[in-house]
Chain A
Amino acid sequence: WGGLEVPLGGRVGKQSCCFRVKNVLVKLMINLLICFSSQTFDKILIANRGEIACRVIKTCKKMGIQTVAVHSDVDSSAVHVKMADEAVCVGSAPTSKSYLNMDAIMDAIRVTGAQAVHPGYGFLSENKDFAKRLAAEGVTFIGPDTHAILAMGDKIESKLIAKAAKVNTIPGFDGVVKTAEEAVKIAQDIGYPVMIKASAGGGGKGMRIAWNDEETREGFRFSSQEAESSFGDDRLLIEKYIDNPRHIEIQVLADKHGNALWLNERECSIQRRNQKVVEEAPSTFLDQDTRQAMGEQAVQLAKAVQYSSAGTVEFLVDSKKNFYFLEMNTRLQVEHPITECITGLDLVEQMIRVAKGYRLQHKQEDIPINGWAIESRIYAEDPYKSFGLPSIGRLSEYQEPLNLKNVSVRVDSGIEEGSDISIYYDPMISKLVTYGATRGEALARMEDALDNYVIRGVTHNISLLREIITHPRFISGDISTNFLPEVYPDGFKGHQLEAGKRRELLASAAALYVTVQLRSQKVLSPTPVERSHWELCVQLGEGCYAVEVVKSGNVYNVEVDGGTVEVSGQWNLASPLLPLSINGTQRMLQVNANTYTHNLGFFGVLSKLAAQLNSYMPEKVPEDTSSILRSPMPGTVVAMSVKPGDTVAEGQEICVIEAMKMQNSLTAVKQAKVKSVQCKPGETVGEGDLLVELE
């Protein structure tokens, strides 16, 4: 009882104004009782930023726990800082100086008197030293105990433990690698293809696949460099690479009293560069037996390391439903919301309770699979460049698809209109989760939500996400981790319109053009004469389509491409979302141009005459891109392999750009002599900046 006095007092004080009304008082007492029954901490510090910090703060608020945000100087007006009750600046923008700066974070804990720390994911979430330092100061780490982090944090040791716990492991599993030649030898022993990654790294970071000796050497070099820059630990792991695998993971939840549950699976096979893009729960692939077998093995592993808190056991599943242990993530996963959707549990709340020492509230048979949940990761990146190269910028306009007024759409984000997506941090904008009774319903909602998502100011990957979730292979559940390269062998080129859809798009563009043109007449003084018949040309890709529009009221009958389309709608031209009805079907149209005017033929629409005359216009000579190398994304130059006067062969590496902790090697597209080098290692470059000129 004594220990509970402070938080109780806090609550009473806050709500004392309500005491006048009797039933409010009763309600309050009930509140207090609930509060008492699961009393945890008074104040939690969240050692993270962005959406996950916001996500944790939300649950803390629900549980009546005070929150402390930490932030770097550039994040001082970030959303998580505004949401938290207190905020402490822990250093400058680079993560090593702020979010990874343990000294500053420990100071922040002391200053604010936080009793526990939630690390989120990434940063210090799987850092055993941090957990140790917290323990030494008597602060609770909301996550597993140090020994579990230690055991599972090392890829090699974790597999040994898994093997011992009778968990299926990947064949060809081997030890630490020190040199490139050693790497090649190991790879040859296992047999190609092999996978190379940093021992200490989580997720797909630092993971490369090699099909021959040469690629093994290259993979070794990159992975060790990345391992060094991301984790300060250059140990590597090489193992048999399973072709055409699915990535399916099991969420586990364990307490400090030896109880552990598996909360079903998450299908995370849709990945690009080994990072997840679209996840769903449950998986279309697993049957109940496999699910149970995987779940039970996951729990065995958790118990083997006396795991407590939420954790994830990742498996690779082959086409015959054989599953192999990949690794265990001893933290909350990015994609945890889909598990929450189908099980009804709040994982952050459970983590906090477990950290306080409570027993699990649920038994295995209480864990349901209710409905279906899909998560799309909205990234600030250009999907047309290897399925997503980071992009940066300021969100000049940002509107989450909450206008759908549908409780089944959840957006976890840590940014708002005006926020900066900087080169310092992960380029994720948000996690968009939709939920439905069936998979079809969840997918339909996802499509709607993506169409209604407004993001301006940075390049984003919504076009790719929408393409994935509407792809027949995805819909049928026929996916693997190779889905993207298989479906788009030449890279993602944007949505390919079939004739019917193209007609609809052309018609919508024409109808909108007419609206914009007519609006230009609506100046106060003269009375406009509304023209009802328009002959236009719409340019789409390489084609130019003749269109005839007959407008009556808000209905536009558009003759295009050998068919007639009826478009109707009354549009607010200031809104980024333009709802319209095409042949009676409701659609949402977004116009990406910054403005309706000042571009040659808004939306590619020109009057028939202008299109005719446009054919006389000279073509502007494009820049010869074969002899110049421009930065494909904003980042830092980490290595420059050439100097002026050098001769480079086609495909030879010219320089390496690091962005968001990813190293990208830029190569020559032809054999040539280097004319000039415009940047130095260590320099920050923007997208499109000139790096090297060839002769």
Chain B
Amino acid sequence: MAAFSVARRSRGLINGLKVSFRSSGQLKHGAVAAPLLQTSLHRDSRWYSAGHLSVKERIEAKRRAALAGGGQARIDAQHKRGKLTARERIDLLLDTDSFVETDMFVEHRCSDFGMEQDKNKVTHLPEVIFYFFNIIFCLCLFCFSQDFTVFGGSLSGAHAQKICKIMDQAMKVGAPVIGLNDSGGARIQEGVESLAGYADIFLRNVMASGVIPQISLIMGPCAGGAVYSPALTDFTFMVKDTSYLFITGPDVVKSVTNEDVTQEELGGAKTHTSVSGVAHHAFENDVDALLNLREFFTFLPLSNQDPAPIRECHDPSDRLVRSLETIVPLESTKAYDMLEIIKAIVDEKDFFEIMPNYAKNIVVGFARMNGRTVGIVGNQPKVASGCLDINSSVKGARFVRFCDAFNIPIITFVDVPGFLPGTAQEYGGIIRHGAKLLFAFAEATVPKITIITRKAYGGAYDVMSSKHLRGDVNYAWPTAEVAVMGAKGAVQIIFRGKDNQAEAEAEYVEKFANPFPAAVRGFVDDIIEPSTTRKLICSNLEVLARKKQVNPWKKHANIPL
């Protein structure tokens, strides 16, 4: 708390200094001048002994050095790589002048391998990261930003300590943590202290999971043990072309498995957002990423104690969406774009899709209904007919659990022909992975609204937030078909070896390819006109905001991992 209040008091000072920092940025000599001054300080007074500089002057000198990061040369190098400095990122991410920095005076404690000299020579004072108590759109959060210009952003014991401190603060007040990662990895010179630092962060990531939203934005390299902190957070975003995530880099890969692979192929943004599913979104560059992160942040509640946020809404909640009347094609085999349905229904077509390039047969993301944040899950008929497979089940499950943890209502759009058959899926464990999505929907106690737009076949019908899994409101469009399977397959089983299959198929379609069988049993609450969907969801959410449902006490559930 002490560091906190010091920082607060000196806020004016920071602002005053910013001006001098900027001018020194323009005059290259300014940067040279500062270290000279500090060197002389160091010669005379090893640590905090009284010297010829007053304490006030020393504070100023240290602050100036901290603001200069790794020095102008390294800042230029960072810019040349198309990356911003830690401070520039913070400036962009947060509301103007809204942040309060802590721990500006913390230093690393290593003196091996010439680190001491290095510390004195290059930067003298600052540790490698900055902590802030900050504000985005007047919402508070905690945030750290690793500075690649100082020791390559490598993680020292002190560095880790700063991150842990900020996370503890965040947990205390119940506010999200955003990490801007740009780090070469562990500070090898510090040895086990650095490893301990990682573990300390991991533990806090785990403790904070489900309590406060945690977001990682990877803005540079992130390798080795460092990758597990982003992996433990709720969302991992990456910057295209300048960020990498991998356990071991291309050189080690080459020596162990003899594979030739570039950094970009191994762990670039494209790989992780389309192949591995490790990252949730990739942005064009630092500026794009930070501005988008600001927008994304407005969807989230501050902690699991807060309800889903409600923003001022200009889109009428009773708006009829006429374009939906024709969106589902007449032929049930023809594809359409579920995103069009989602965008037409939510406020102002504003849909923040999570993992848009991974397991595209399911669409997940955040939107608002009458201003209130909702999580949207939808099968995507455009890709693989919208079937559920291993990747889409895992993608959906993780998203549903996030929403449930943070009181965000879930709206599910169903058009699913079933689970994807095949040896690849069975060997890969579709049973186990499919169960995750089933588990996540069943366990969720937030308001759950389901709309069956077309197919809801077989076990996949059960999984997709059905009435049977405590769906609060389940609607079907007139085009809905709730059945065990499609007509052709069903008839082949029921009438195996008989000739009147075409006739039987027609009968099956007549009986089952419509919403009635589900509606007469009360498995769907109503068959609605598509154009009224938005209106109904909005009014249902209003009522369901009062929903209180508690699962039986348990230490924790045992989701099939």
Contacts and interface: CB of A to CB of B under 8 A. Distances in A.
Interface of A: 73, 76-77, 394-398, 416-420, 517, 519-529, 531, 571-575, 594-598, 600-601, 606-607, 609-610, 613-614, 616-618, 620
Given A520-B298, A598-B295, A609-B92, A419 B326 contact: yes
B287 interface: yes
Interface string B343-365: 11001111110000000000000
A523 B323 contact: no
A135 B424 CA distance: 65
A606 B292 CA distance: 12
B137 A520 contact: yes
Contacts of B510: none
A525 B306 CA distance: 10
A582 B192 CA distance: 65
Contacts of A575: 314
A571 B79 CA distance: 39
Given A594-B349, A613-B84, A572 B323 contact: no
A596 B350 contact: yes
Interface class of chain B by DSSP: mixed
B84 to A, nearest CB: 6
A420 B306 CA distance: 43
Counting chain B CB atoms within 10 Å of each CB, the highest count among A397, A525, A528 belongs to A525
A521 B137 contact: yes
Contacts of B351: 595
B312 interface: yes
B326 A418 contact: yes
A620 B283 CA distance: 12
B312 A77 contact: no
A529 B84 CA distance: 28
A26 to B, nearest CB: 40
Contact of A417 (B88, B315, B322, B350): B322
Contacts of B350: 595-598
Given A394-B340, A396-B340, A598 B292 contact: yes
A574 B348 contact: yes
A133 B295 CA distance: 64
Given A525-B306, A574-B315, A396 B137 contact: no
Given A521-B138, A572-B314, A613-B92, A77 B298 contact: no
Interface class of chain A by DSSP: loop
Interface in B521-535: none
Contacts of B84: 613, 616
B82 A523 contact: no
B325 A418 contact: yes
Contacts of A420: 326
A523 B310 contact: yes
B287 A613 contact: yes
Counting chain A CB atoms within 10 Å of each CB, the highest count among B82, B295, B324, B344 belongs to B295
A594 B326 contact: no
B241 A618 contact: yes
Contacts of A73: 330
B501 interface: no
B139 A597 contact: no
B311 interface: yes
A609 B91 contact: yes
B291 interface: yes
A73 B334 CA distance: 13
Nearest to B79: A616
Contacts of B325: 77, 418
Contacts of A617: 82, 284-288
Interface in B275-292: 284-288, 291-292
Contacts of A397: 323
Contacts of A607: 92, 96
Nearest to B324: A418
A523 B284 contact: no
Contacts, number: 123
Interface string B312-344: 111110000011111100100000000010011
B152 interface: no
A418 B529 CA distance: 14
B309 interface: yes
Contacts of A574: 313-316, 347-348
B367 to A, nearest CB: 10
Contacts of B286: 613, 616-617
Given A617-B286, A618-B82, A610 B92 contact: yes
A597 B295 contact: yes
B287 A596 contact: no
Contact of A520 (B82, B311, B326): B311
Interface string B453-480: 0000000000000000000000000000
Given A574-B347, A574-B348, A616-B84, A523 B92 contact: no
Interface residues of B, number: 48
A574 B352 CA distance: 16
A573 B348 contact: yes
A113 to B, nearest CB: 27
B284 A600 contact: yes
Interface string B132-143: 000001110000
Contacts of A609: 91-92, 96
A529 B310 contact: no
A395 B325 CA distance: 12
A528 B347 CA distance: 21
B323 A417 contact: yes
A417 B327 CA distance: 10
Counting chain B CB atoms within 10 Å of each CB, the highest count among A525, A573, A614, A618 belongs to A618
Given A521-B138, A613-B91, A620-B284, 7 more contacts: A396-B323, A418-B327, A573-B348, A594-B349, A598-B352, A616-B83, A617-B284
Contacts of A531: 96
A420 B88 CA distance: 46
A623 B76 CA distance: 28
A616 B84 CA distance: 7
A617 B350 CA distance: 26
A607 B327 CA distance: 39
Nearest to B241: A618
A573 to B, nearest CB: 5
A75 to B, nearest CB: 11
B322 A418 contact: yes
A83 to B, nearest CB: 15
Contacts of B298: 520, 523
B138 A528 contact: yes
A73 B91 CA distance: 57
Contact of A522 (B91, B241, B312, B352): B312
Contact of B344 (A76, A396, A526): A396
Contacts of B313: 574
- Which 7 pairs of residues, A with B, have the shortest CB-CB distance? A418-B323, A574-B315, A618-B82, A522-B312, A574-B314, A617-B285, A417-B323
A607 B92 CA distance: 9
A524 B84 CA distance: 33
Given A418-B323, A574-B314, A617-B285, A601 B138 contact: no
A531 B330 CA distance: 52
Contacts of A572: 314
A598 B310 CA distance: 19
Nearest to A520: B137
18 contacts: A395-B323, A416-B322, A418-B322, A418-B327, A520-B294, A523-B138, A525-B306, A572-B314, A573-B314, A573-B348, A595-B349, A596-B348, A596-B350, A597-B350, A598-B295, A600-B287, A616-B84, A620-B284
B295 A77 contact: no
A14 B84 CA distance: 75
A601 B96 CA distance: 16
A52 B184 CA distance: 67
A524 B372 CA distance: 10
Contacts of B306: 525
A394 to B, nearest CB: 7
Contacts of B343: 396, 594
Interface string B235-260: 00000011000000000000000000
Contacts of A77: 325-326
